[in-house]
């Protein structure tokens, strides 16, 4: 009556026994895996925080562990921050140089024009004649008085731009008195820009008139082979300047640089000069003497901004020490200038036909300012005469110059970024000593004609000066910058902090990596088991 086979089939379908639960092991249980890791790991504090008996002990160890791990993370953050900032250290070392380069030496008379030659530049002569005219009428409306008035307004405007008394308003012109000598100097510089440098050189002091004798380590350096190691350049303030050992001649050909292997006056340069004080322009030059600039070879000097003033009537000794500075650019963002030459757009790039184009911050900054003036005003300051096409002289142009100077002063022209310090730089430190010639030495020089001059009435105290330039020692001071916090130092410090606070080593890192791999495997097994279970349930239904 009953179909046993069918009954049994239904019975088995409705009374299927569930399988025994799977035993949880580290191979299929996250909890077991973490528990085993906590008991075996070398990570400090984890085993205590998870396996200690009692809730209080576990809480205390959890708090201690969290604090230590927090300190570790914070200290590692500080170390990484320090590494990213690339800190710099400076090392100073002094080494003895057996053979050292001798610098270039430029000498300029403090008087710009010779009185007997001023007629060759009539525009400048007219300015001086009008300025020193006893019958001068400041209100006659002449071209000279109008020029003085314009320049005076420009100087006062520049003063107001540079000075802030706190109320935000300009000081009234009537409350400011300006020395007219300063104004006339500027007018002369503007007038001189109408002449070429070759024309102006004829009016300045001449080499063979001013340089009476020259000795390089005892050799006559005013004639024969040594004569080619002298060059002449025109300076907007001091006129003719003469450079010994320039590293190149005026046509652009490179010349060897003299070297010395011994210190002391006998192994340097000695120059005797006649400043020709009788040719000084009265009222235009208030000081007598020469300006001596010591600079690197193949580098443009700036006599008005640097140098040592040497007075007549003395024998001056300038003892030098060389200093070498090496800077580092840790971020490769141009924090120091890596090239040794001026950029192609620098206005001084062609000085001495491009041979004296060694980079200097001064040349770069001056060029940056001149370029900004040309761009905004279509003209430039008179001191750039010979290097730019047009000099500013009209009232609106002078007003424009003042606005550019204000931008330059506030660093809004970007010149500081464009003109960083050089990565490799040589400089010189000086010690100046002075003495006078003895009466017998003066008489002896007079009897010998004193450098070809047969004037026995030559006034030594007014016109003669001697300059000796030498190394007082051949010790080279090297200042070297370098980054000191590299990746090796960073990893060592991080390892030290992790070992100090939580006892972690490289082995611990591999343990943690093993834990991550095991977690991934458990997750994969669980996902696979869930898929099998779903498939089995579908088949049963």
Alpha carbon 358 to chain centroid, angstroms: 14
Task: Indicate the angle between helix axes 143-162 and 180-192, nearest 10 degrees.
Answer: 110
Contacts of 442 (CB under 8 A, 6+ apart): 460
Structure tokens at 284: 């235009």
Q: What is the mean pLDDT of residues 82-110?
A: 95
Assess contact for 209 and 246: CB atoms under 8 A.
Answer: no
**Average pLDDT score, the chain:** 87
**Under DSSP, is residue 493 helix (H, G, I), strand (E, B) or coil?**
helix
- Per-residue pLDDT of 216-228, as tens digits, reads 999 999 999 999 9
Using CB atoms within 10 Å of the CB of residue 191, give its burial: 0 to 12 exposed, 13 to 18 middle, 19+ buried: buried
- Residue 471: phi, psi to the nearest 5? -85, 130
Question: Any alpha helices (H) in 309-377, and if so which ranges?
Answer: 361-377
- Per-residue pLDDT of 313-363, as tens digits, reads 999 999 999 999 999 999 988 899 999 999 999 999 999 988 899 999 999
Per the listing, tokens 């020490």 go with 321
CA dist 400 → 154, 331, 386, 497 (Å): 10, 37, 20, 60
Assess contact for 293 and 106: CB atoms under 8 A.
Answer: yes
Contacts of 56 (CB under 8 A, 6+ apart): none
By mean pLDDT, which of 220-229, 283-292, 433-442 is the weakest? 433-442
CATH 2.60.470.10, the chain: domain bounds: 97-112+197-318+443-466
- Residue 139: phi, psi to the nearest 5? -115, 20
Question: Any alpha helices (H) in 15-116, and if so which ranges?
Answer: 30-40, 46-51, 55-85
Cα separation of 121 and 159, whole Å?
31
Q: Would the pLDDT of 447 be above 70? A: no
Assess contact for 227 and 328: CB atoms under 8 A.
Answer: no
Q: Would the pLDDT of 451 be above 60? A: no
Instruction: Look at residue 28 in the predicted model and tell me its pLDDT.
Output: 56
Instruction: Look at residue 470 in the predicted model and tell me its pLDDT.
Output: 97
Question: Any alpha helices (H) in 378-438, and if so which ranges?
Answer: 395-409, 415-418
Contacts of 311 (CB under 8 A, 6+ apart): 288, 289, 465
- Per-residue pLDDT of 474-499, as tens digits, reads 999 999 999 989 999 999 999 899 88
> Helix/strand/coil (H, E, C) string of 140-208?
CCCHHHHHHHHHHHHHHHHHHHHCCCCCCCCCCHHHCCCCHHHHHHHHHHHHHCCCCHHHHHCCCCCHH
Instruction: Find out if CATH 3.40.1280.10 is the number for domain 97-112+197-318+443-466.
Output: no
* DSSP, res 369: H
Q: How confident is the model at residue 274 (pLDDT cuts 50, 70, 90)?
A: very high
* DSSP, res 241: E
Q: Would you say the pTM of this structure is higher than 0.75?
A: yes
Rg, Å, the chain Cα set: 41
Q: What is the mean pLDDT of residues 99-105?
A: 96
Percentages helix, strand, coil for the chain (3-state, rounded to 5) are 45, 20, 35
Q: What is the mean pLDDT of residues 32-40?
A: 69
Q: Which of 390, 335, 406, 363 is nearest to 193 (CA)?
A: 390
Q: Would the pLDDT of 75 be above 80? A: yes
Q: How confident is the model at residue 14 (pLDDT cuts 50, 70, 90)?
A: very low
Instruction: Look at residue 2 in the predicted model and tell me its pLDDT.
Output: 40
Assess contact for 204 and 113: CB atoms under 8 A.
Answer: yes
Cα separation of 222 and 214, whole Å?
6
Q: Would the pLDDT of 66 be above 60? A: yes
- Residue 320 forms beta bridges with which residues? 430, 471
Q: Would the pLDDT of 428 be above 70? A: yes
């Amino acid at each position: 009556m009953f179909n046993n086979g069918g009954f049994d089939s239904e019975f088995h379908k409705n009374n299927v026994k569930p399988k025994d639960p799977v035993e949880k092991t580290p191979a299929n249980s996250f909890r077991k895996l973490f528990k085993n890791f906590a008991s075996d790991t070398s990570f400090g504090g984890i085993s205590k925080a998870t396996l200690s008996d009692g809730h209080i002990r576990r809480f205390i160890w959890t708090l201690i562990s969290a604090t230590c791990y927090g300190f570790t993370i914070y200290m590692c953050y500080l170390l990484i921050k320090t590494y990213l900032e690339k800190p710099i250290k400076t090392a100073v070392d002094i080494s003895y140089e057996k053979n050292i380069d001798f610098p270039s030496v430029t000498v300029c008379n403090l008087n710009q024009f010779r009185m007997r030659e001023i007629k060759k530049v009539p525009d400048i002569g007219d300015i001086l004649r009008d300025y020193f005219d006893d019958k001068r009428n400041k209100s006659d409306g002449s071209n000279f008085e109008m020029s003085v008035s314009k320049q005076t307004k420009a100087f006062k405007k520049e003063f107001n731009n540079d000075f802030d008394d706190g109320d935000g308003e300009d000081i009234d012109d009537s409350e400011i008195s300006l020395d007219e000598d300063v104004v006339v100097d500027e007018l002369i510089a503007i007038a001189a820009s109408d002449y070429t440098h070759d024309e102006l050189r004829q009016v300045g002091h001449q080499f063979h008139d001013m340089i009476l004798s020259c000795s390089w380590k005892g050799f006559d350096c005013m004639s024969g082979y040594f004569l080619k190691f002298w060059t002449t350049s025109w300076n907007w303030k001091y006129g003719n300047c003469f450079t010994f050992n320039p590293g190149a001649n005026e046509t652009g050909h490179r010349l060897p640089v003299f070297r010395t292997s011994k210190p002391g006056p006998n192994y340097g340069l000695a120059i005797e000069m006649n400043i020709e004080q009788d040719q000084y322009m009265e009222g235009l030059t208030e000081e007598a003497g020469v300006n001596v600039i010591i600079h690197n070879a193949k580098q443009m000097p700036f006599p008005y901004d640097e140098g040592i003033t040497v007075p007549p009537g003395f024998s001056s000794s300038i003892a030098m020490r060389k200093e070498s500075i090496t800077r580092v650019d840790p971020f490769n963002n141009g924090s120091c200038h890596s090239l040794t030459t001026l950029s192609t757009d620098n206005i001084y790039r062609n000085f001495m036909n491009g041979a004296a184009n060694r980079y200097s911050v001064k040349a770069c900054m001056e060029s940056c300012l001149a370029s900004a003036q040309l761009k905004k005003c279509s003209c430039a300051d008179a001191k750039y005469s010979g290097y730019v096409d047009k000099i500013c002289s009209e009232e609106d142009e002078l007003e424009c110059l003042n606005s550019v100077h204000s931008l330059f002063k506030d660093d809004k022209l970007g010149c500081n970024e464009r003109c960083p310090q050089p990565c490799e730089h040589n400089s010189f430190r000086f010690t100046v000593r002075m003495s006078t010639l003895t009466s017998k030495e003066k008489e002896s020089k007079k009897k010998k004609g004193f450098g070809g001059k047969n004037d026995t009435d030559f006034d030594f105290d007014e016109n003669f000066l001697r300059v000796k330039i030498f190394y007082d020692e051949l010790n080279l001071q090297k200042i070297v910058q370098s980054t000191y916090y590299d990746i090796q130092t960073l990893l060592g410090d991080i390892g030290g902090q992790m070992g100090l606070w939580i006892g972690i080593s490289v082995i611990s890192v591999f343990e943690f990596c093993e834990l991550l791999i095991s977690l991934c495997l458990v997750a994969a097994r669980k996902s696979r088991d869930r898929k099998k279970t779903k498939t089995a349930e579908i088949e049963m239904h």
